Amino acid sequence: MNNDFIVEEITRLVMEELSKMSGLPRTPVSTPGGINVLVILDEENDDVGELFQSLSKVSGGAPHYHIYAPEHLAGQVKASAGFLPFTPVENLKRHQYRKYVAGFDRVVVPYLTVSTLAKIAGLIGDEPASGLCIHALMAGKPVTVCTDGIHALNYSSVGTGNKLMGMIRDHMKAIEEMGVETVQLKSLTEKFAPAPGQPVQPSPAPSVKAVVTNDDVMVAVNQKQKALYFPSGSIITPLARETADAYGIEIHIV
C-alpha cells in the first residue's frame, strides 16, 4: 500500500479520536479578513431558494460559511452552492450547541419558520435552528433571521386568524427585544461587513492543532477554490500536498 495513503488513514483515525475528545465538529479557519458565519437551515424548509445567490453578495472580507442542513436538504445544498466556499455541519447534538457557537462571528437563520420563531421567543432550544440561536444570544453573538416567510403569512380566511397573527407579532417583538436582528433575505449580507474603519474580529483559535488531509483539499477541488488558509502550526499531510499541487491549489499557513 502507498505510504501516503497509510499516513492519510492514520491521520483520519487520529482526527476522529480528537473529535470525540473535544465533543465538537472540527471548524476550519476563515480566509484572512473574513468571518465565520454559521448558517442554519430550518427542519421545516423544503428548498434553499435564493439563499446562495444572496450569500455570494458580500462587500469587504468574504465570510467563510458553515451550513447546517437537515438530511432532506443536504443534497440540494451541495448542488446549489456553486462556487460559494462553505463547510457542511453534520451530526450536531444538543449538548454541543453552547460550545459550538463560540467559534462563530455570527449565526444566521435564512428562512425563519413560525415554529422556530415561537421556540426562540419561548427559549425552547430542542432543535438546531432555535437551540443554536438561543446559545449564540446568551454568548453575546449577533443572530440574524430572515423573516420573508413570516411577513408573507396571511391567515385572514381562518377563524382564529386575528388571534394567531397577534401571537406571531408578539413573538417577533420578543425576539427583537432579545437582540435578534430581523431582515429580508435580499439584504442579509449587509450584516456581514464590518462598520467603516472597524476591523473584523477573528474567531477564537481552535484548541486542537489543525490537520489538513486529502479530504479537506478535495472539498476545495469540488468547490473550485484556488487557495486554502490554515492557522500557524497546522499539519499538512503528504497526500494533501500532492493533491493540492495536482489541482493547482495553494495552501497558505497564516
- What is the dihedral sign for C-alpha 217, 218, 220, 224? positive
Residue-averaged pLDDT of the chain: 77
Summarised one tens digit per residue, pLDDT across range 161-201 is 678 888 999 999 999 999 999 999 888 877 775 555 544 44
The CA–CA distances, whole Å, from 223 to 37, 106, 209, 247 equal 18, 23, 24, 12
How much is the pLDDT for 9? 64
| Residue 230 to residue 121: CA distance in whole angstroms | 37
Domain 37-191 of CATH type 3.40.50.1950: yes
Contact by Cβ (8 Å): 228, 212 = yes
Q: What is the pLDDT of residue 175?
A: 94
Cα–Cα distances in angstroms (integers) from residue 25 to residues 52, 79, 131, 154, in the given order: 23, 23, 16, 40
Average pLDDT over residues 199-226: 63
Higher pLDDT, 129 or 75: 129
Instruction: Say if residue 126's pLDDT is above 50.
Output: yes
Three cell numbers, residue 241: 500536498
| pLDDT, position 172 | 93
End-to-end CA distance of the chain: 33
The confidence score (pLDDT) of residue 80 equals 79
Instruction: Specify the long-range contacts of residues 86-89, CB closer than 8 Å, at least 24 apart.
Output: 86/39, 86/223, 87/27, 87/28, 87/219, 89/25, 89/38
Q: What percent of the chain shows pLDDT beyond 90?
A: 24
DSSP 191: G
3 state DSSP class of 16: helix
Residue 208, pLDDT score:
42
* Burial bucket for residue 6 (CB in 10 Å: 0-12, 13-18, 19+): exposed
pLDDT tops 60 at residue 152: yes
Domains of the chain, residue spans: 1-26+206-254, 37-191
pLDDT tens digit string along 37-62?
899 998 888 878 788 878 877 655 56
